[in-house]
Amino acid sequence: MSARHLGFRLAAAAATLGLALSAVACGSDSDNDSAAESTTSETRVFAADNGDIEIPVAPQRIVATGYAVPPLIEADAPLVGISEWKRGIPLMTPEDLADYESLEKIAGDMSAADTNYEAIASVNPDLIVIGVPQPAMVDLDLGALEAIAPVVAIGPTNPAAWRELTKRQLDAAGKLDAYESTKKTYDDKAAGLKEKYAGVLGPLKFGHLGAYGESAAGNFQREFGGSWGTNIAQDVGVNYYGEVKEKLGGSQDSSEYPSIESIPESFADADVITYTVEADGSVGPEVRYVLDSPLFKTLPAVQAGKVYGLRYTEAATYTSALQTLDAIDEALAPLLTEAAGPSSSAPASSTPSGS
């Protein structure tokens, strides 16, 4: 158990002891029990994706799933159960990772259909925060969850929506104060990097190669502004040009999956190409499929050596996105070196990692 969760339990124990001593002094256990119950049973109406839901003002036992998991762990919310969130592990601090590993897992991280309703009931939550996209809600038995505790669905609508999403999730958990401080830290850092790169990013058009193509089907993921691989870099001033040919809703409004033969057309106007890499900097198979293509190697940006791998593109909280900003700064540093001229000792360009 982490020090933060231990501290929460010790605080709860101290509060309980205080109530007991007060009851002895006043000679009435029932009065104090009523007061404690009143404090913990206060409710409010919360506007969730599934309607206006009556929830505790200060929930004490929260179950979180999907995109609600990382912000509530970071904010020290009183969690008693979570779904797995393996994609976010590389972005967790050691303390947050210890919390994540110690918490009861009530669902997998691949499908809402993996939800274990008995496990949720066994941890006796007073609030359930569902953080899955709306299409995944069809895999949940909402009635079964509502029979256990109030349920608020607060799921992502598009990849860049994590900013507002985390605010609503923290609000439901009674942890909204944590949002403002982490947002300011992120905004300040992003503004500093935007100023740092202002002289070199302005005229450049960027394109992004995502990690979720299907090489077996002969396609790749082309990401535009507002997608996973691009939205944080945009806060630094990166201009990802173009848009999907057909907006189909959700993440498909900012990414598409053209055939490998479309590489020259898709990236023809890109001055710079970024691509998603794993947390350790290695290149995943779907990205490698494109980087190794002879068609990719003919692109102007590739021949100019302006191809850069970006780590931590799946950040979905302000705290984790700080690491993404650092990764973007590291990846784009050659652009500053080139602008400074040949006198700099650092390399002026970068080639695809692992190629």
Q: How far apart, in Å, are the Cα atoms of 162 and each of 74, 171, 278?
A: 14, 14, 20
Q: Place 342 in a pLDDT band, splitting at 50, 70 and 90.
A: low
Question: Mapped to the 3 state alphabet, what secondary structure does 201-259 carry?
Answer: HCCCCEEEEECCCCHHHCECEEECCCCCCCHHHHCCCCCECCCCCCCCCHHHHCEECCE
Is the model's pLDDT at 189 over the cut of 80? yes
Q: Per DSSP, what are the bridge partners of residue 130?
A: 153
Quote the CA–CA distance of 286 and 276 in Å, as a whole number. 10
Amino acid identity for residue 208 in this structure: H
pLDDT at 136: 86
Is the model's pLDDT at 349 over the cut of 50? no
Indicate the SS3 state at residue 75.
coil
Distance of CA 350 to the CA centre of its chain: 28
User: What's the pLDDT tens digit per position in 73-126?
Assistant: 999 999 999 999 999 999 999 999 999 999 999 999 878 888 999 999 999 999
Greater model confidence, 31 or 239 = 239
User: What's the pLDDT tens digit per position in 279-291?
Assistant: 999 999 999 999 9
Nearest partner of 131 among 85, 187, 72, 64, judged by Cα: 64
Is the model's pLDDT at 243 over the cut of 90? yes
Q: Place 350 in a pLDDT band, splitting at 50, 70 and 90.
A: very low
Indicate the SS3 state at residue 341.
coil
Q: Which residues of 235-265 are buried (b: 16+ CB within 10 A; e: fewer)?
A: bbbbbbebebeeeeebbebbbbbbebeebee
Asked if 92 contacts 102 with a C-beta cutoff of 8 angstroms, the reply is no
Quote the CA–CA distance of 93 and 73 in Å, as a whole number. 10
Sketch the domain layout of the chain as residue ranges: 1-40, 42-174, 185-340
User: 97: buried, middle or exposed (CB in 10 Å: 19+, 13-18, 0-12)?
Assistant: middle
Asked if 254 contacts 244 with a C-beta cutoff of 8 angstroms, the reply is yes
pLDDT at 15: 38
User: What's the pLDDT tens digit per position in 130-177?
Assistant: 999 888 898 999 999 999 999 999 999 999 999 999 999 999 999 999
Q: How far apart, in Å, are the Cα atoms of 317 and each of 72, 130, 217, 327?
A: 10, 16, 32, 15
The answer to whether the 42-174 and 185-340 domains have the same CATH topology is yes
pLDDT at 5: 38
Is the model's pLDDT at 37 over the cut of 80? no
Q: Per DSSP, what are the bridge partners of residue 274?
A: 208, 308
User: What percentage of the chain carries pLDDT values higher than 90?
Assistant: 77
DSSP calls for 2-61: -HHHHHHHHHHHHHHHHHHHHHHHHT-HHHHHHHHHHHHH-EEEEEETTEEEEEESS-SS
Quote the CA–CA distance of 65 and 152 in Å, as a whole number. 11
User: What's the pLDDT tens digit per position in 48-60?
Assistant: 999 999 999 999 9
Quote the CA–CA distance of 326 and 310 in Å, as a whole number. 10
Q: How far apart, in Å, are the Cα atoms of 287 and each of 56, 107, 208, 224, 300?
A: 45, 29, 11, 16, 18
| Mean predicted lDDT score pLDDT of the chain | 87
Spelled out in words, what is the top-level CATH class assigned to the domain 185-340? Answer: alpha beta
pLDDT at 250: 79
pLDDT at 253: 87
Please give the angle made by the CA atoms of 123, 124 and 127, to the nearest 5 degrees.
110
Quote the CA–CA distance of 311 and 198 in Å, as a whole number. 22
Please give the radius of gyration of the chain, using alpha carbons only, rounded to the nearest integer.
Answer: 24
pLDDT at 12: 38
Q: What CATH code would you report for 42-174?
A: 3.40.50.1980
User: 42: buried, middle or exposed (CB in 10 Å: 19+, 13-18, 0-12)?
Assistant: exposed
Is the model's pLDDT at 31 over the cut of 70? no
pLDDT at 40: 58
User: What's the pLDDT tens digit per position in 291-306?
Assistant: 999 999 999 999 999 9
Q: Which residues contact 92 (CB under 8 A, 6 or more apart)?
A: 70, 73, 100, 320
pTM value is: 0.84
Average pLDDT over residues 204-211: 98
Quote the CA–CA distance of 299 and 295 in Å, as a whole number. 7
pLDDT at 33: 45
Greater model confidence, 16 or 136 = 136
